[in-house]
Structure 1
């Protein structure tokens, strides 16, 4: 599938852009994670929308790989996401987010002035139960998880090369990536994670599918249960052999799950 840019703007000093794939139906909007790229969505979106009624759009957001995270001092991910959605040439019908992007979608759904959508898909989000206090132990735990996710992302982008290089060399590449992201990238993620417990998710009416991997601590065990209790409109599936990037490692299987969910949603009227 060929993708092409359809809109770009600057908001509060940050570049926002939208790319579109082939299709002529309602807008299926993809929101990438921290230190990732809109292009990461292409294999998954191509598989998901092949022969379907949906038109895929992938947002390019200021937490892309290589970002400086200066926006952390000035604004938040849901604000930036809202501004990026304004670039779409048609109303968003369903939002699909991964990791940091999934939590940006979650924040937007919890807002009283959220844009009308038919549903949402959250891939590998994270959630802090209200009985998980914000302590130094939590800080250390989430810092370790952050480092692990960044490292996993770097290795995934290296592909076959990453599997053949010496382990110490791959470790050096990961360490350099972490140094470049710096504390601000972690601050963005930590703030987003901590405040999930304060979101009014009981008011969300939009059907929401949550897909996570059992090998990913972001939504493991009691976290997933707590999210479902807080958000009655959500349904969840934990893939027993999936990790944080299960939608890329198991493209066909996860796309099939999402496709079945989309089939349950009413087709929005295009305007």
Structure 2
């Protein structure tokens, strides 16, 4: 069974779509990161399946690769994610997000009217500890991280081709992507990052697995400890050999972690 489109609509001037993958059972819903695509989840789902019964739904969200980010003026990522979840033909049991998508999931988990979920998985989210001041050093640091992650994503999408291409050409591709994303894409991420410390994460009761990489500054070192304190419901694991895209580069190991997490739940639906 191949992936196929379920529904596509326009909300707040932005296209939202849902794609269904092979499988049967409770709904596993996937939210991609900034400048990514719903297709990024296909190999991840293949690695995750094993003996887990679930129906995968990959969301196509307005921060997809090639987006114009006009929505930044009108709405926020959590609202757009809520609109996308409302398009599902069945309620989600497990909600998985990566990077920008993971933080949109995090915002929803922290809301009082959060959807009923059995569990959530956040892959490479970011978090600003309360003692991390909002100043120009933070701005410069996060802009550098943003550029590095975009570059990492471009190189990852090239696959083995990146080893055969001239590095100057690859750098040019990264620069063009950054120019196209522009300040609006960075502003959306920066706003999301800055406000993480204001979320009511201590009220979250949904069992949540957080997986990040030690080489990814988004959630490493003191940020990891601060996140654990802020969100007691979260099981946080930092992969010593992982980066921002560890769920793709180390799919077998990360999906094994997810299976173990789901198996340990008191009454898991997706397990």
TM range (shorter): over 0.9
Unmatched runs of 5 consecutive residues or more in structure 1: none
Question: Aligned partners of 2:207, 2:100: CA distance in 1, in Å?
Answer: 20
1:49–1:55 CA contact under 8 A, matched in 2: no
> Are 2:177 and 1:177 equivalent residues in the alignment?
yes
**Which position in structure 2 is the counterpart of 1:186?**
186
Contact 1:49 1:56 in 2 (8 A): no
Aligned to 2:40: 40
| Deviation at residue 165 of structure 1 after TM alignment | 1.1
Aligned ranges 1:237-248 → 2 under 5 Å: 237-248=237-248
Contact 1:26–1:267 at 8 Å: present in 2 too?
no
Residue aligned with 1:247, SS: helix
Cα drift, residue 52 of structure 1: 1.8
Query: Gapped runs of 5+ residues in structure 2?
Result: none
Name 2:210's counterpart in structure 1.
210
Corresponding position of 2:161: 161
Q: Cα RMSD between the aligned structures?
A: 1.1
Give me the whole-angstrom Cα distance separating, in 1, the residues matched to 2:220 and 2:269: 33
> Does the 8 Å CA contact 1:33/1:98 hold for their aligned counterparts?
yes
Distance in 1 (alpha carbons) for counterparts of 2:136 and 2:223? 19
Which residue number corresponds to residue 118 of structure 1? 118
Q: 1:224 maps to what in 2?
A: 224
Q: Which consecutive segments of 4 or more residues in structure 1 shift more than 4 A? A: none
TM-score (norm 2): 0.97
Helix, strand or coil at the partner of 2:10: strand
**Cα deviation, residue 10, structure 1:** 1.0
The Cα of 1:51 is off from its aligned counterpart by 3.4
Residue 68 of structure 1 corresponds to which residue in structure 2? 68
CA distance in 1, matches of 2:219, 2:268: 30
- How far residue 19 of structure 1 moved from its aligned partner, in angstroms, is 0.6
Structure-2 residue corresponding to 1:103:
103
Q: Distance in 2 between matches of 1:198 and 1:175?
A: 33
- 1:50: Cα distance to partner? 3.5
Contact 2:9 2:17 in 1 (8 A): yes
How many residue pairs get aligned? The number is: 269
1:69-102 superposed Cα distances (whole Å, 9 cap, x missing partner) = 0000100000000010011111000110000000
Give distance in 1, aligned partners of 2:52 and 2:259: 9
CA deviation after TM superposition for structure 1 residue 47, in Å:
1.4
Structure-2 separation of matches of 1:43 and 1:166: 27
